[in-house]
Amino acid sequence: MPTLLLLPVFDGRLRGRTSRRFGCGLMLSAALLGVSSLANARPLLGERLDAALRHPALRAAQLSILVEDEKTEQVIYERDPEKRLIPASNMKIMTALAALETFGPSHRFSTRILTDRAPNASGTVGRLAVLGGGDPVLNSEDWWRLAADLRRRGLRRVEGDLLVDDSLFDREYWHPQWKGRSARAYHAPVSALTANYGAFFIAIQPGMAAGDPVRVAVDPPISSLQIVNRAVTGPPQSSPTLSVQRGGQSAQAEIFTVTGRLPAADEPDFVPRSVQDAALYAGAVLKLQLEAVGIQVGGSVRRGSANLPHVLATHEGRSLAEIVRLFMKYSNNAMAESLVKSMAVKAGQRPGTWPAGLAAMRAKLSKLRLLGTGAVLADGSGLSTDNRLSARMLVDALRVGGRSFGIGPEFVSAFPISSRDGTLENRTARSADLVRAKTGLLSDQRVTALSGYMLRPDGDVAVFSILVNGHAGRSKSAMDAVDRFVAELTRR
């Protein structure tokens, strides 16, 4: 029995990094098993892991890797663990940890509805304003519930305009280091007032016959989102060539152009796109829901101060634990950046800005004795290629977050589960249910990353971080190589 208890120690150690404790174990096992037996057993895991990293996609890449036993902090595997690389969305691990430590898991962001007066006998007010409180997860259903609440409070008509106020944050909606912005949903603006994560869907269906225009609808159906439809229905066996591009913006509308072809009898295609002005979009969604519950709005949706005397309703959003779970599971960039600016507000900076939020985030992580020399926090989502973290920094953060009595359960449960949900739903099949980890991907920069927790064959938990910069070939090949590496660590 003593021999069996020692075997995981030998199988887990690698690459010549030893300690006095390990040396003692080595001498004891040599006595118990014999030198030749030890020589055969010891390299097994190390050889498999090294083989996984010899994958063609990783051969010339820069790597920073660290795998440690969660309890003992014993190194299981390492390769340049101090090297600082681009972490991609693994930066969200730091943002989640800092936000939970700053606000606490039960914190809720408030959105207020203010009017120029209480509704009169006929349920009428002059003006209505929405004051954003930094809630990044308000969706169409939440806005409908808020509209229904306003009706229960007696509101029936708004004579004037519906004002939107996102002044809690500054108006730098896209990070300056993101090197431009696109219409893709992951480039949604970061605003203190938003709806549906600053994005919407364009539903595209083929027409009745080849040559017919495709059928297009917008969800949610807001008049300010206008579609120019130049796409046609193709023959049944043709290939789809649809493209959706932002076509411009006026004072009243955002315009998107649909071109290309969708084969006849194909399933509908749902294309997510981001809006340019999240606050006006949120106001338009609220106006739509007010009208749906029978509240008339006589004016238009426009920007304006919410400095009105009467607070008609306050919406308390989802808990921070739920928000963190959403942005970690599905790697939502706008949510992460919204939390950065909220940390700035918490630190006393109004309006919330990226520099102040990142400074507050660094201060919180430094207080936890994380980061260290050379860490670069350029944004909260990992879209910036100026971010720099090492595998050591991420493993330390994973251990601190997971061990915290105050935030540990919420922190760990936010990570995607291998082959089950989030961004790991279609990955790591050979490690199904054995890994909770945050993915990272910047295809254009040839960056992939995976950091989190795994259940080892001996029943112990390991914390790990794998950062890959400059891989060869397609991103999928590099991700497959990383998944194989993880599978060797969880292999029974």
Q: pLDDT (tens digit, 9 = 90+) per residue, 215-268?
A: 999 999 999 999 999 999 999 989 999 999 998 777 678 999 999 999 998 999
Active site residue 274: no
Angle between helix axes 44-53 and 2-12 (nearest 10 degrees) is: 20
What CATH number has the domain bearing residue 56? 3.40.710.10
65 and 128 inside one domain: no
Tell which of 288, 318, 348 closes a domain: 318
Average pLDDT score over the chain: 91
Q: Assign 331 to helix, strand or coil.
A: coil
Tell me what the mean pLDDT of segment 155-182 comes to.
93
Q: Tens digit of pLDDT for each residue in 80-107?
A: 999 999 999 999 999 999 999 999 999 9
Match 């338009």 to its residue by tokens: 284
Question: What's this model's pTM, rounded to 2 decimal places?
Answer: 0.88
Q: Is 89 a catalytic residue?
A: yes
| Shared-domain flag, residues 114 and 51 | no
DSSP 464-488: EEEEEES-SS-HHHHHHHHHHHHHH
Last residue of a domain, one of 259, 283, 318: 318
CB 104 within 8 A of CB 119: no
Could you tell me if 218 and 85 lie in one domain? no
Note whether 375 and 419 are same-domain residues. Answer: yes
Q: Determine the 3-state secondary structure of 72 from DSSP.
A: coil
For residue 167, give the CATH number of its domain.
3.50.80.20
Is 451 one of the annotated active-site residues of the chain? no
Task: Please check whether residues 95 and 158 belong to one and the same domain.
Answer: no
Domain membership of residue 75 as a residue range: 41-104+321-490
Considering the domain architecture, whether residues 299 and 202 belong to the same structural domain is answered as yes
- Which residue is catalytic, options 29, 89, 167, 381? 89
Q: Quick one: 332 and 238 in the same domain? A: no
Angle between helices 320-330 and 333-346 (to 10 degrees): 140
Residues 171 and 117 occupy one common structural domain: yes
Q: Kindly report, residue by residue over 201-227, the tens digit of the pLDDT.
A: 999 999 999 999 999 999 999 999 999
Which residue in 356, 320, 422 sits closest to 99, CA to CA?
320
Verify that 336 and 420 share a domain, yes or no: yes
Identify whether residues 166 and 186 lie together within a single domain. yes
CB distance 192 to 166 below 8 Å:
yes
What is the per-residue pLDDT for 251? 65
Sequence-distant (6+) residues with CB within 8 A of 258 are 202, 204, 214, 216, 227, 228, 229, 230, 231, 242, 243, 244
Q: Of these residues, 29, 64, 83, 92, which one is catalytic?
A: 92
Give how many domains the chain has, as a whole number: 3
Instruction: Spot the catalytic one: 64, 191, 331, 342.
Output: 331
353 with 339, same domain: the answer is yes
N- to C-terminal Cα separation, the chain = 19
What would the mean pLDDT of 347-366 be, rounded to a whole number?
A: 98
pLDDT of 182 above 80: yes
229 and 294 together in one domain = yes
Q: What confidence score (pLDDT) does residue 180 get? A: 66
Helix (H/G/I), strand (E/B), else coil: 179? coil
Find out whether 132 and 191 touch, Cβ atoms under 8 Å: yes
- What ranges in 259-371 are assigned the alpha helix state H? 278-292, 320-330, 333-346, 354-367
For residues 305-317, average pLDDT = 97
Residue at 354: amino acid letter: W
SS3 112: strand
